[in-house]
Amino acid sequence: MPSSTVTRAGVGAELCLVIPVLNEEGNIAPLIDCVSKALAGVAWEIVFVDDDSGDGTRAAIAAVAAHDPRVRMIHRIGRRGLSSAFIEGAHSSFAPFVAAMDGDLQHDETVLPKMLAALRADECDIAIGSRYVEGGGVGEWDATRAGMSSLATRLAGIVLRTRVSDPMSGFFMLKREVFDQAARKLSAMGFKILLDIIASLPAAPRIKELPYQFRTRVSGESKLDAGVLRDYILLIVDKLVGHIVPVRFILFAGVGAIGIAAHLVVLRTGLRFGGLSFAAAQTLATAVAIVGNFSLNNTFTFREGRLKGSRFLLGLLTFSLISSVGAYMNVNISALLVGETHTAWYVAGVLGAVMSLVWNYAVSSAVTWRRYTHAH
C-alpha cells in the first residue's frame, strides 16, 4: 500500500519552502546552506518531499534535520510526481507563504527574499522566478530544450487567463490563501504545478515575475524524459475537459481504439496469410489486443504507477480477466438490445462497447493499478 512518513511537524514558520527530491543526495547539504544564507532573518522551514529515493537522499536530509528543526521530510512510497509532491508538502505546513524550489541547485535562492518581500507588501498573489523576463536566462540549454520550453509556454495560454512569461517555472512563491483557493481543483499531474495552480484559481491572480538565471546541475541526474511532455499535455487537457470526463479515461479509450485496430489487423492477417480458422485467428487477435492494451495503458495511462517485474505479469493476468468480463458484457448486452428491444444494430454495438469500456477502466483502475489509484 502507498504510504507516507513525515518527520517533525514544524510550526511558527513564516515561509515554507517545499522541495520535491528524488536521488539528490549530493545536493541536500549545499542547498540547505544556500537557502539558510539567503533567508537570514526570515522564519523559514524546508519540507523535502522524497519519492522513495534509491540513494542516500533521506539520510542526508536526516543528518541536517537532527540538529536543525527547520528541516523536515515527507517520505512517499508508491507515489511519484513533482506536482503531487508540492501539494503534500504545502498541506503539511501552516506557514502563510509557501514556495516551490527544485532540489538540484538550478534555482537561484537569492531571489527568494525578493519574492517574499513582494508578497509581504501585497504587490502580488504569486511571485514567480522567471527565465524569460529581462535579466533572466535558461543557462546552457541546447536549442531543442529551449524550443520545447517555448512551445510549452505557448500551449499554456490555452488554459491561462492572465499573461505569464514563464508558466513552466518550478520556482515560485504564493500566499497560503491563494494555494487554498486552488487546492481542491488541482490536477496534480506531472511536473508543472505552477500552471496547475494558476489555471485552477477562481479568478486570475496578480502575478509578479522576478528574473533569474537557470543554473547547470552540479550533482545527480536530470529527471526530464519523454514522459514529461506526456504529463504536460495531459495537464492541459485535464484543465480543459477534466470537469466533464477524467483525462485518464480519454487516454484509456484512445488505447482501446488502438487495440481494436490491432485486433482487426491480426484477425485479417491470420485468416488471409496464416491459414487459421476463424476461431483460432479470433483467439490470437484477442490475445494480442489485450496484451497490447495492457502494455500501452501501463506505459502511458498509468505511467506514474506502472507495473514492473512480477507485478507486470500479475497485472496482465488481472487486466485480461477484467477485459474478458467486459467483452462478455459487450456481446450479451448488445445482443439483448437488438433481440428484445429491436434497437438498431449500430446503436446496440456502440452502447455495448461504451459499457465495456467504462467497466474495463473502472475495474482495472481499482484492481490492476490499485497502488497508483489509491495513492491519488
Per-residue confidence in pLDDT tens, the chain, 376 aa:
444 444 444 458 999 999 999 999 999 999 999 999 999 999 999 999 999 999 999 999 999 999 999 999 999 987 778 888 999 999 999 999 999 999 989 999 999 999 999 999 999 999 999 998 888 887 766 676 667 677 777 777 677 777 888 888 889 999 999 999 999 988 887 678 998 999 899 999 999 999 999 887 666 555 555 566 677 777 777 777 767 788 888 889 999 899 888 888 988 898 888 888 888 888 888 889 899 999 999 988 887 778 889 999 999 999 999 998 988 887 788 778 877 777 787 777 778 778 888 899 999 988 998 865 544 5
Task: Return d(Cα 63, Cα 17) in angstroms, integer.
Answer: 18
Which of the 8 DSSP states describes residue 238? H
In the numeric block, the cell 491561462 is attached to 160
Residue 126's beta-bridge partner residues? 174, 207
Instruction: Indicate the SS3 state at residue 308.
Output: coil
Task: Return d(Cα 194, Cα 288) in angstroms, integer.
Answer: 41
Residue among 92, 111, 94 at smallest CA distance from 102: 111
pLDDT of residue 203: 92
In the numeric block, the cell 495503458 is attached to 297
**What is the enclosing helix (H) or strand (E) of 161?**
none
Residue among 161, 236, 257 at smallest CA distance from 201: 161
Q: Determine phi and psi for 97, rounding to 5 degrees.
A: -125, 135
In the numeric block, the cell 488554459 is attached to 159
Other beta carbons within 10 Å of 148? 16
C-alpha cell at 342: 429491436
DSSP-H helix ranges across the chain: 28-38, 57-65, 82-91, 112-120, 143-156, 176-183, 193-200, 226-241, 247-272, 278-296, 310-340, 345-366, 370-375
pLDDT of residue 343: 78
pLDDT of residue 320: 92
Q: Which residues contact 163 (CB under 8 A, 6 or more apart)?
A: 207
Residue among 94, 111, 104, 113 at smallest CA distance from 14: 94
Residue 76's beta-bridge partner residues? 4
pTM given for the model: 0.73
pLDDT of residue 5: 45
Contact by Cβ (8 Å): 270, 280? yes
Measured between alpha carbons, how far is residue 188 from residues 1, 58, 91, 200 in Å?
20, 23, 13, 11
Q: Work out the angle between the directed axes of helices 278-296 and 247-272 (0-180°, nearest 10).
A: 150
Dihedral of the alpha carbons of 78, 79, 85, 89, in degrees to the nearest 10: -40
Angle at 343 between CA 342 and CA 347, to 5 degrees: 160
Amino acid at 32: I
